[in-house]
Structure 1
């Protein structure tokens, strides 16, 4: 596509953003109070922002103008953050991580595929050189440590020449023997037919009868072939089967990919020219007008200090770097306004001191008064209000810049530095040590799009009739994008969006928990640290050793962010009772230290702790839920997801989908089987030899039945155990109370009411 196309795409996205911002400002003045209306409002904004996000991402990826890309990037990150804020609002409103927008999609006339959140390509494109360099370093360390040989799956076996010749001769003789046997069999059958004809006597066929018989057979065959062709055309017309033009190789797609890569090269060239131009303009301006500008700035600073002295009687302190330095002096504020700000700060500090003293004087006696005040809240306080957004100002600023208006941004405050246990060691040495110890591993190159799953089309309908639907794999994929990939990929989004430090993926074995961990690292270019109980056994023994190990991991993770810290089989860290065969492993080493690590993690640290568990009900639920902020329960795939999975994986393995292969039948009989089991069966059946035989022998569903019969599916009892466990989590409890009409506040009121009733009964009895 041309530059004009992407400029038009950007213009449409900005117009849509402008209308959504106006709608948000109108709703903020008079927010609705009905919970259903509130969710519809939030969901509508969410879906619209997703569409804007998709258009902006495409425009930013293919635009070649550097100044335009800077502005698009600002709005793109802001829209990304706003999507995360709206998601957080919907979770707090419905007490559920999964939401369904099928009715909204129908109103907006959108397809379910348009609800998928794209992963910005700049996450990897802007640091491709760094990732290549890191891969080289990792390969070098593994090869020197002797760990690279473990990655080789099929080692080459050296065979002597004589043995190889004998093996080829045996195979050739066997082939010739098989051909001779087939030839002799044909001769024997021909002789047998001739003998039978002589015994029964040969009959001379009438030529007319023979011609009629041949015509009947040919007409039947021709009509059968014609009927099949008409049926296939009808299925293509109805959209039930894909067009053969789509299935065949399309050269236009290849040309489009070439154009995209060419645009990337033009982007890099223009970016280099833009940076060089900035440096040249700055240096020339400094050389020609630097002395005059410096003198005028010094005069303004002197004038500002003299005016402040004349008004207050003393010279003000020079602004520090954290406050902005001399830039504050040249702001649009007058000296009177600056003095008012200084006086206001002093008054605020005095008021804070007075409040602290007052709070220290107050004791336990005022707790009852506070409880009474809480019960006497006004209706205005009880009304629902949307929490303030940190990204709407950025979007408005970008929108105003697009229109030609400019605003000034704000600076953030710097956090305090933590104590460094390894101040004299370089990052390279720490990185090498963690790789050699097996705590920093190479993530598998798995993209999130390979996690195949279909959209849930009946979610809203089921919730309207008070049935909680099981989430689909498409919903799981979307949550991984929202909670894992988008915050790790963008620094500005991670600092301002609702902070997600920890994530727990739980579900039966084979639903793709580990695959999703590796997909997060692949899509964001993150380092992968493995702190699974089996990995850290016997490493860094003792309390000091454990502290040093965690310090090394978190230090390298922060310095080389983004990073993912993976704790596999995390239920072992929170065992209720450690099994006898695992006591030597000491699986609960991290239990006390994980909460401390999470508290020390800040918004600027793009580090995500991800735990995976296939048996979470074996863990103590309170400390587990205290550590993991977000819990995603991954179910077994439903029929729609299984249908798409069977079809795509068979095609990826080299299989051909024909009418003889009933995908619908395979999807129905694999109810209860996980994605991993289905993929395993397909790989076992579609060997290289079987793929080559498809011309003579097409694939059938029966070939996969034997492999499925040897596997154990996920039974309903196991699925129910996961559901009951999730209902005991904090969010699960809130969701259950919301469905039953009980609120957390009502629970407390109920307890107080019962206590008051008992007191009244006691008084009456007296």
Structure 2
């Protein structure tokens, strides 16, 4: 499709997003909903509509080549993903279930169950393809090195006497002679049969002919039956016609076009980055001096106006408060002086209250909260993404929606937009320098005025508030400070703790939607989650937070995931699929895999330290614990005592609390 088509698709998605934002951020706050069913229906409707916007924006971001548009779309896409996760979290809290069935919502919106599938953004891999490729190459090289340097186990040799050796040789030789005699006897019998064979009669020839006909007719009939069965399956739509199994020319053309588009994205992005550097330097050289001069003139004018209004020069705003940015606000000198004085007074009066006042206030607040809870009903939880979505939507409406791009056929970057964005950055840089100079100039002015009056000079330096001397959090000691990342990776690969994920995708975990979910729930029967439900939950809880840093930081945090089920249902496959979809590293801390490695408490501490350090430096990462239930044995079976499966039990809290962009998957089998 052309860039115009994707621009139109973006416009449609933004229009729908604008409608949703109008519903979610009304001018008058909505009244609390007391009916739980109605409230859940509202959540489900928003959830499904956001997924459709998510699907459209993901497609647009993957194919749009304009670098500045891509940045706007990326911010909105991350916001939509985060909002989907927030709505999912609210539905879980209201229904007390990880799985939801929205047949009625799909029917109202005229959608199919396929539209509920969570799309996995392709930029998770494409935007960091170079980094992931280098990481994959490094792991492959380490694995090859380990295979080469791994010495084979020495063969165990047992001492043997001369008599035993002679006996073995005799047995082997007699066996050889026996095989040779048997072969000669077989050849002799075959020769005798040849000499005894007579000319076959007519009856024997007919019998042989009938036998050959039976075999041939059976073969032909089976072949015809197979062809007829295949044709019937194709006619019923239960099998694909062989001519459609190979990609058709249109598909090949589309794939080639998409690959060409992605190469254009890289090219345009490189041009954009170069242009940003060039435009920034140009603005700094051309407009920097004028900006500095204008700021100084305005600040000096403010000094004079304040002195005329109050009779003395003002105190210069601190850098923490914004420096001279406060001066350029739309306020007169008197208002600005009053604001600064009020802020100082507030800081000085900000003292801790007594215990009794706090208790009384706490009781009052608690009483008010209880009353509000009784009257409240069900409300939407505050969102961390709606403000970002509102800003992104405003950017689209103000700038991109009505922009005429008839002359920008190749969808290159807009230089004027770069100038507008970088002017603010340069202005902030220059403001810091101007503030330092003007503070010095203000001090000189005050000194000159005080000398004329014959008074003593007053320093305008304010005492900085001392930082509260609280107990600093003790940093964990780095046990491997003298080792490089490559060395740690090599050691973890050699020990089998860092593994290369299998090449499987989440879409390979095939399974259909549960069409009877709503019907069963209406009959007070909790339906068994389908494989489609499992895919959706894993996409939301594992793949999206691992793939997007913004979603990971702002969305409801999922620390760990437990995959429970009998052997052979695909738990391990799902773990590998998560790693493949996000480019995550796979660390295996299963009891069977860690048995005999890094013995003792110090060894266990070293192993966990290395795993967490590498996982933190090579984000995103997944820590996998297979057969996690073995860590909670009350009594370890005799055959598993050597494995010491309860070794990680005390450290399980540390394993599940992976900071940065990491996650842990526990695999529990029910036999």
Q: How many residues align?
A: 542
Among candidates 386, 390, 396, match of residue 384 of structure 2:
390
Q: Which runs of 5+ in 1 are unaligned?
A: 151-186, 198-223, 410-414, 616-717, 719-766
| In the alignment, structure 1 residue 419 sits paired with structure 2 residue 476 | yes
1:453-501 deviation per Cα after TM superposition (whole angstroms, max 9, x unaligned): 1111111111111111000000001111000000000001111000111
Q: 1:229–1:384: structure 2 CA closer, same or farther, 3 Å change rule? A: closer
Q: 2 CA distance for matches of 1:306 and 1:584?
A: 84
The residue aligned with 1:292 is 290
Matches of 1:531 and 1:228, distance apart in 2: 50
Looking at both structures, which has the greater relative contact order when contacts are Cα pairs under 8 Å and sequence separation is at least 6? 2
Match for residue 353 of structure 2? 354
Mapping 1:260-271, distance limit 5 Å: 260-271=258-269
After superposition, the Cα gap between the structure-2 partners of 1:149 and 1:301, relative to the gap in structure 1 and judged at 3 Å, is farther
Equivalent pair of 1:439/1:529 in contact (CA under 8 Å): yes
Three-state SS of the structure 2 residue aligned to 1:583 is: helix
Q: CA deviation at 1:592?
A: 2.3
1:435 maps onto 2:493 in alignment: yes
CA contact (8 A) 1:139 1:148 kept: no
Match of 2:114 in 1: 113
> RMSD of the TM alignment (CA)?
4.2
CA distance in 2, matches of 1:332, 1:147: 72
Among candidates 507, 510, 527, match of residue 449 of structure 1 = 507
Give the Å deviation of 1:326: 6.9
User: How far apart are residue 343 of structure 1 and its match?
Assistant: 4.5
2 CA distance for matches of 1:572 and 1:195?
68
Match of 1:643 in 2: none
Q: Which moved more, 1:549-558 or 1:275-284?
A: 549-558
1:609 partnered with 2:667: no
- Structure 2 equivalent of residue 551 of structure 1: 609
Q: Does 1:40 align with 2:41?
A: yes
Report the secondary structure of 1:566's partner residue. strand
Cα deviations by residue, 1:340-364 (Å, 9 ceiling, x for unpaired) = 48856974895572267855x89xx
Q: Tell me which of 493, 500, 513 is aligned to 2:558.
A: 500
Aligned residue for 1:539?
597
Check 1:544–1:563 CA distance in 2 against 1; reply closer, same or farther (3 A cut). Answer: same
CA distance in 2, matches of 1:190, 1:612: 72
- Distance in 2 (alpha carbons) for counterparts of 1:488 and 1:578: 35
Change (3 A) 1:546 1:403: same
Q: Which moved more, 1:115-124 or 1:557-566?
A: 557-566
Match of 1:136 in 2: 137
Equivalent position to 1:399, from 364, 378, 393: 393
Q: Tell me the alpha carbon deviations over residues 82-132 of structure 1, each in whole angstroms, 9 at most, x when there is no partner.
A: 000000000000000001112211111111111111110000001111111
Residue number in structure 1 paired with 2:427: none
Give distance in 2, aligned partners of 1:189 and 1:349.
Answer: 126
Residue aligning to 1:102 = 103
Seen in structure 2, the aligned counterparts of structure 1 residues 226 and 534 have a Cα distance that, compared at 3 Å, is closer
| Distance in 1 (alpha carbons) for counterparts of 2:91 and 2:257 | 40
Cα distance in 2 for partners of 1:292, 1:424 equals 51
Where do 1:208-227 residues align within 5 Å? none
Choose the corresponding residue for 2:272, options 271, 274, 278.
274
Unaligned runs of 5+ in 2: 152-198, 210-224, 401-419, 425-471
| Equivalent residue, structure 2, for 1:509 | 567
Q: Distance in 1 between matches of 2:260 and 2:375?
A: 57
Give the equivalent residue in structure 1 for 2:253.
255
TM-score where L is the length of structure 2: 0.71
In 1, distance between residues paired with 2:207 and 2:592? Answer: 75
- In the alignment, the residues of structure 2 paired with residue 371 and residue 279 of structure 1 have an alpha-carbon distance, to the nearest angstrom, of 54
Question: Which structure is larger by alpha-carbon Rg, 1 or 2?
Answer: 2
In 2 relative to 1, CA 287–17 (structure 1 residues): closer, same or farther, beyond 3 Å?
Answer: same
Aligned-residue offset at 1:47: 0.5
Residues 532 and 570 of structure 1 are in contact (CA less than 8 Å); yes or no, is this contact kept in structure 2? Answer: yes
Q: Write out aligned runs for 1:315-714 (5 A).
A: 315=315, 318-320=318-320, 336=335, 340=339, 343=342, 347=346, 353-354=352-353, 373=367, 377-378=371-372, 381-404=375-398, 418-421=475-478, 422-596=480-654, 598=656, 601-602=658-659, 605-615=660-670
Query: Partner residue of 2:22?
Result: 22
Structure 1 residues 265, 352: CA separation in 2 closer, same or farther (over 3 Å shift)?
Answer: farther
Mapped to 2, the partners of 1:325 and 1:551 lie a distance apart of 44
Q: Is the 8 A contact 2:317 2:324 kept in 1?
A: no
Deviations 1:55-99 (A, max 9, x none): 110011011111111111111110000000000000000000001
